[in-house]
Structure 1
Amino acid sequence: MSAYGHEMEREHSTQTLSSRGGSEMGSRYVVESGIYMTSFAATIFIGALVTFGILLLTLLIALTVMLQSCQSKSAGVVEIGKLSDDYNYCKIYVFHAELNGLEADDFPSICKDLTVRYIKEGQYARDLNFTMWVVEGYFNSITPVYDGLDVVLMDIDDVLPSNIHYTNLYRFDQYGCTDCVEEAMHLKHMLILRLYMKLQASGWPLILLSRKPEEMQNATLEHLISVGYGGWSSLIMRLDNEMEMNSREYFSRRRAVMQKEGFRITGIISSQMDALTGPFSGKRVFKLPNPIYYRFEHHIESTNIPL
């Protein structure tokens, strides 16, 4: 083939390649400049978008509900914390009021409200039952010496007709708690009587103490017998020359006399601090829970209001 023929062939080949390359580049351009899909693929894509939107909306609603729940719980924690603080404050206040013989009228109003809740919500009954369990557990673990000198002192004013008008102190009727107070005091009577009978059955000599004057002895004896008490070793009431004494001094002097006479005080049981404090208090003292604080020596006159 001549040189001219070769040259023409090369030009023809070059044009052919150029034409092909141009068409391939054009094809690529069309593919890259747009996305083509079938109707089925488009349906799936749109459905996925809708599903994603629904899931996102559900997540937002769940987060909103959780946030509101957390806020409510936080508010509840703050309220419970405040109630707990008030309760602890009043508990300490009452303890020191009893310890120092303060007047009930000096109590903060918040403490009077919590006293009502303490009774109505059953916490007093639970505390009383648990305290009785502690007392009984102690006396079940020991036995009295059979010389009759190991004695247990019980504050019997907890079960005698009261010399206190509870409604005048705390006005429980204003809180709708008159019935719950009566129920609480009835429970107290029943549990003290049960404890009394268990101690007596275990051979413990029982000496009963009262802040009431000795001139009320006959009425006191009749009442004790009528409600199931009996067989005690001694009943101690105030003599005329003891009526002006502070009740703490009165109890301390009586215990001192007992020890001089050879008695061994194994335990003292009372809901009032004045009977448990001071010298000659023996081996153990047991404080029964008392939701209503008062001072007996300020209300010596007799009434017919039951505890």
Structure 2
Amino acid sequence: MAVALLFLCFLVLATTTSDAVIAHSDPQIIQLLRPRAGVAGHPDSEINCLSWRLAVETNNIRNWDLVPETCEDYVGNYMLGKQYRLDCEAVADIAIEYAENLTIPDDGKSIWVFDIDETAFSNLPYYARPSVGFGAKKYNSTAFGEYIQEADVPALPASLRLYRNLVKLGIKSVFLTGSSERYREAREENLKKVGYYTWEKLILKPISEKGTSSVYFKSKERTKLVNEGYRIVGNIGDQWSDIIGTNVGNRTFKLPDPMYYVG
């Protein structure tokens, strides 16, 4: 009787262990633990594209021209998916916490510098067009200019939330963009339309400075602000060129953007 009982226990244990092994080897379960990149359905491509994006965001890969063709779907899935939104919200959370702990003098000279494209605004409706795509095709300045002129670009929600908190704290906003001065009217209309109702300055690149680097142009404009007596308490952008150079501010914040590189 004891031998039979022992044998029965062994069968139960063996069956349970076998079921557990099968459950943990179920590809459906394993897939839930892996990032879904959607790059030609190939795991190796997913890993390479994840590593490529990490290198881009950490500024280890510089002066790149186009998104690798095999990573375009991955970039598109990231930008249109939940993770991009969560990443932007995380940046905004940190920036708001920082701003709330500042002591702001009551002289109206404390400012926060915002980039515009992929910072104040999100151009995802443009990049989601089949004719454009997510960074693997050459940039079409004419088509993008026409898109800007429509003045219907949505706000990046995380940045708009940061902006609204800064207004409450008495920190003025300066929009500094490498976008051409020819788009000033459209930019002003668009900013107000999506909720950026007031700002201290809107600085666009003069047509005469076309071709100058973003680092040079934005450093020069920030220096002008400092020379006018402003304190740059914060600076946010999606490109490293938005937050490096001279007079970058007391604290900088980088939003994700693996779609393009601006030097």
Whether the aligned pair in 2 keeps the contact of 1:270 and 1:276 (CA below 8 Å) is: yes
Tell me which residue corresponds to 1:192: 159
Q: Aligned AA for 1:127?
A: D
Deviation at 1:293, TM superposition (A): 2.1
Question: Residues 150-229 of structure 1: matches in 2 within 5 Å?
Answer: 150-157=110-117, 158-160=119-121, 162=123, 165-167=127-129, 168-170=132-134, 189-229=156-196
Change (3 A) 1:137 1:57: closer
User: The residue matched to 1:118 in structure 2 has which SS?
Assistant: helix
Tell me which residue corresponds to 1:245: 212
- Tell me the distance in 2 between the aligned counterparts of 1:91 and 1:190: 22
Runs of 5+ in structure 1 lacking a partner? 1-46, 173-184, 298-307
Tell me which residue corresponds to 2:54: 92
Among residues 235, 254, 260, which one is paired with 2:202 in the alignment?
A: 235
Among residues 255, 260, 263, which one is paired with 1:294 in the alignment?
A: 260
Whether the aligned pair in 1 keeps the contact of 2:87 and 2:256 (CA below 8 Å) is: yes
How many aligned positions are there?
Answer: 233
Change (3 A) 1:226 1:264: same
Deviation at 1:135, TM superposition (A): 0.6
Runs of 5+ in structure 2 lacking a partner? 36-42, 137-152
Deviation at 1:70, TM superposition (A): 5.5
Among residues 133, 136, 139, which one is paired with 2:93 in the alignment?
A: 133
Name the structure where helix makes up a greater proportion of residues. Answer: 1
User: Could you list the per-position Cα deviations for residues 56-87 of structure 1 after superposition, in whole angstroms to 9, with x for gaps in the alignment?
Assistant: 544544444344445559x949x849789546
- Tell me the distance in 2 between the aligned counterparts of 1:98 and 1:264: 30
Deviation at 1:203, TM superposition (A): 1.2
Bigger mean CA deviation after superposition, 121-130 or 237-246? 121-130
Tell me which residue corresponds to 2:40: none
- Tell me the distance in 1 between the aligned counterparts of 2:216 and 2:135: 31
Deviation at 1:118, TM superposition (A): 3.2
RMSD between aligned alpha carbons? 3.6
User: Could you list the per-position Cα deviations for residues 268-294 of structure 1 after superposition, in whole angstroms to 9, with x for gaps in the alignment?
Assistant: 11122211111221211111233x422
Tell me which residue corresponds to 1:10: none
Change (3 A) 1:70 1:293: closer
In terms of Rg, which structure is larger? 1
